[in-house]
């Protein structure tokens, strides 16, 4: 029977999946509505839960929009270790495979490893990667990359950025400068600002969205490291709180492991957790 005890255990289960207290309570309340005190099986609860999760997630499941005007500038932000650089490599590879011409700017100039990683992805995908000497100004690299993308008639320019959150002011100024500089070439750029989040960081991902929305005009999310994590509930919390589109999810290391976000599939996987 759906009683207080059952609701409480449902809430605990949802909170354990990293959905966060607010969202977990809201989801539980929606499921209980009109059913309180009635006989429901564990199977039915799971089905109701999956339907509710899919309902919340459906509006945010949107691929990265592509615009007719080129080059489309995609600024990619996120903390170090979020899978940002890998995501750029995978997206560039996928766009390339779809017949788009892509230029990558390795704008995380303070991390040699990030630059090398992008060069490897670029070589694999046949995508040019613009680099600058270590520690040089990422804004001037972004400007050069924009110039090249325009001159070559590229469809997409993807710009990697630093992920240092220790000094937020510096990062804010750095991102603002990149935006200022590329707007000299195209007043509408960047056309997308993607925030890459590591799903395993759980509730911390909400905090990162808040911080990055202060420093950049975040237009959509890519969630990484969703393979083998029971912590997927954070996506529900993100959708519930911010409503930002989730353009793709990363479920592994291969190029094809960056996939479109499917709300039904996600809801089924999330609620497959044994109640």
As given in the structure block, the two tokens for residue 55 are 């309902």
Cβ atoms 237, 206 nearer than 8 A: yes
Transcribe 87-125 into DSSP letters. HHHHHHHHHHHTT--EEEE---TT-HHHHHHHHHHHHHH
Transcribe 12-43 into DSSP letters. HHHHHTT--HHHHHHHHHHHHTTTTTS---HH
Cβ atoms 231, 199 nearer than 8 A: yes
- Distance in angstroms (rounded) separating the CA atoms of residues 217 and 193: 6
Question: Which H or E run includes 72?
Answer: strand 72-77
As given in the structure block, the two tokens for residue 58 are 């459906």
Nearest 5°: the CA angle 184, 190, 192 is 175
Transcribe 42-83 into DSSP letters. HHHHHHHHHHHHHHHHGGGB-PPP--SSSSEEEEEE--TTSS
| Binding-site annotation: residue ranges | 78-85, 160-164, 224-227
Handedness of CA 260, 221, 228, 272 (dihedral sign): negative
Cβ atoms 101, 90 nearer than 8 A: no
| Binding-site annotation: residue ranges for GTP | 78-85, 160-164, 224-227
């Amino acid at each position: 029977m759906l009683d207080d005890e059952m609701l409480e255990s449902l809430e605990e289960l949802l909170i354990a999946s990293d959905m966060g207290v607010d969202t977990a309570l809201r989801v539980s309340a929606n499921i209980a509505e009109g059913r309180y005190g009635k006989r429901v099986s564990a199977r039915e609860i799971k089905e109701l839960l999956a339907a509710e999760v899919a309902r919340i997630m459906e509006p945010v499941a949107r691929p990265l929009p592509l615009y007719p005007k080129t080059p489309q500038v995609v600024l990619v932000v996120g903390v170090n270790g979020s899978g940002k650089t890998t995501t750029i490599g995978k997206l560039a590879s996928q766009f390339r495979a779809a017949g788009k011409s892509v230029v990558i700017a390795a704008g995380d100039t303070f991390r040699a490893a990030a630059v090398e990683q992008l060069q490897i992805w670029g070589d694999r995908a046949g995508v040019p990667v613009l680099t600058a000497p270590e520690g040089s100004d990422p804004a001037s690299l972004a400007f050069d990359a924009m110039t090249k993308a325009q001159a070559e008639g590229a469809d997409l320019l993807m710009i990697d950025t630093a992920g240092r959150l220790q000094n937020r002011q510096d990062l804010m100024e750095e991102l603002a400068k990149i935006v200022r500089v590329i707007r000299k070439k195209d007043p509408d750029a960047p056309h997308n600002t993607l925030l890459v989040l590591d799903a395993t960081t759980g509730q911390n991902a909400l905090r990162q969205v808040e911080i990055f929305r202060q420093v950049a005009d975040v237009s959509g999310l890519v969630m990484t490291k969703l393979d083998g994590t029971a912590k997927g509930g954070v996506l529900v919390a993100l959708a519930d709180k911010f409503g930002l589109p989730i353009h793709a999810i990363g479920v592994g290391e291969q190029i094809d492991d960056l996939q479109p976000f499917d709300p039904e599939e996600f809801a089924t996987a999330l609620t497959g957790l044994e109640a």
